[in-house]
Amino acid sequence: MLLTTTLEPKNRKAWRTWLERHHAKEKEIWLVFTKARLGQVSFTYRDALCEAICFGWIDGVRQRMDDEKYAQRFSPRTKASKWSSVNLALAKELKAAGLLSPSGLASLDQARFAQTDSNEPSGPFPPAWFITAVQTDPMALSHFQQLPPSHQRRYVGWISSAKREDTRDKRLAEAIGLLRENKRLGLGPGEVRK
């Protein structure tokens, strides 16, 4: 995948400043992040997502750059794009805090018409049973937390879809092993098919 324009903000304020200047005219930007396991993180994916939502932007695909860095695509939200319940709740929190720009407010106003139907799990995500199990392996937990939300949902969905308790337990153990190795579930290159 071709990374067009990249940006490596030092902090949340620098990203917000870029968005203030460019959100209305740019089509996309790839934000470069240092992997959390290196312990040098001053700007997180969640910081980036919050500020993007403030300006009517949304995160997209993630691309590995090397062993230390990855890039996440951010672009303006289209009128047809659907909101996850997690991002919608986050946008409402940001609005209550007075952080949404006029573009962010307009995007949120359109959200009630484009919100995804609830095929997403209700309640807290990830579920407590999952966190309790994954916390037994700090490396697996760290890798899980670095995954984009869609990949986190794949793991939880795959485990939750098991009809029998013993199958669920086997999948949970397998998921912890895959997460420890920093593997993703999916159909893409380098992803594990389940």
Determine the 3-state secondary structure of 76 from DSSP: strand
Determine the 3-state secondary structure of 5 from DSSP: coil
Confidence band (pLDDT; 50, 70, 90) for 69? Answer: confident
Q: Phi first, then psi: give them for residue 71, nearest 5 degrees.
A: -120, 140
Residue 118 scores a pLDDT above 50? no
The answer to whether residues 89 and 23 belong to one domain is yes
The answer to whether residues 74 and 170 belong to one domain is no
Residue 15 scores a pLDDT above 90? yes
pLDDT digits (tens, 9 = 90+) for 16-43: 999 999 999 999 999 999 887 767 667 8
Range of the domain at 164: 128-180
The answer to whether residues 13 and 90 belong to one domain is yes
Alpha carbon 121 to chain centroid distance? 16
The answer to the question of residue 96 being in a domain is yes
pLDDT digits (tens, 9 = 90+) for 178-192: 999 998 887 655 567
The answer to the question of residue 88 being in a domain is yes
Confidence band (pLDDT; 50, 70, 90) for 131? Answer: confident
The answer to whether residues 31 and 85 belong to one domain is yes
Residue 157 scores a pLDDT above 60? yes
The answer to whether residues 41 and 101 belong to one domain is yes
Question: End-to-end alpha-carbon separation of the chain, Å?
Answer: 24
Residue 148: exposure state from Cβ atoms within 10 A (0-12, 13-18, ≥19): middle
